[in-house]
Chains A and B, each alone.
Chain A
């Protein structure tokens, strides 16, 4: 199975809501990533988990809270978001190589989030 799945595909939420995005992979990858992509922009790295531990947080506001319950699952908990947080949220996974350089990213289809 070479697929990364994400749910939901679309999400509309108010600024006072709490919601969660979910991501799952069964490729045995030990690194999982959250990206944010605004229209006409490249994906921006938000968080990286390696071996289920948070290893990179790119100074993301605390209203975004990641969680990695096990090696196959990655969640992004959302609370008190702002309209400017509306974007495509992409999950990805990869092997963890030791040779330096980027590891090949396998992306899910994304969750398109709208904050009203």
Chain B
């Protein structure tokens, strides 16, 4: 089946530092989505990328889809304590979806 790996598994950063998580698929993807799960919460949709090489920005967050559509990244500039949580990528086909392994972000004030 489809495997979606994320690195790193954990990341501790000082508030104000940047953060990046990478998502790698074993297969070419039609699209990729990113979700954030706060501690004790549920996954919340952040963004969807569809096109090869696509870059999208949401305030301090920058999302990229690789040229080969097998990998993606999420970069946060100048982290804040509100960025704490686990970031998951999600890939899949019609209905059948697979979450990436997730990157847990801790921000030290």
Q: Which residues of A contact B (CB under 8 A)?
A: 31, 33, 40-45, 48, 50, 55-56, 90, 96, 98-110
5 contacts across the A-B interface (CB closer than 8 A): A42-B101, A90-B42, A101-B30, A104-B48, A107-B42
B29 at the interface (CB under 8 A from A): yes
Contacts of B99 in A (CB 8 A): 42-44
Is the pair A45, B90 in contact by a Cβ cutoff of 8 Å? no
Q: Which listed residue (A33, A99, A105, A110) contacts B30, Cβ 8 A? A: A99
Q: Which residues of B contact A (CB under 8 A)?
A: 29-33, 35, 41-45, 48, 50, 88, 90-102, 104
Is the pair B43, A105 in contact by a Cβ cutoff of 8 Å? yes
Is the pair B43, A107 in contact by a Cβ cutoff of 8 Å? yes
Q: Which listed residue (A31, A42, A48, A99) contacts B100, Cβ 8 A? A: A42
Contacts of A108 in B (CB 8 A): 42
Contacts of A105 in B (CB 8 A): 33, 35, 43, 45, 90, 97
Q: Which residue of A lies closest to B30 (CB)?
A: A101
Q: How far is the CB of B86 from chain A (nearest CB, A)?
A: 8
CA–CA, A106 and B48, complex, Å = 13
Q: Which residue of B lies closest to A108 (CB)?
A: B42
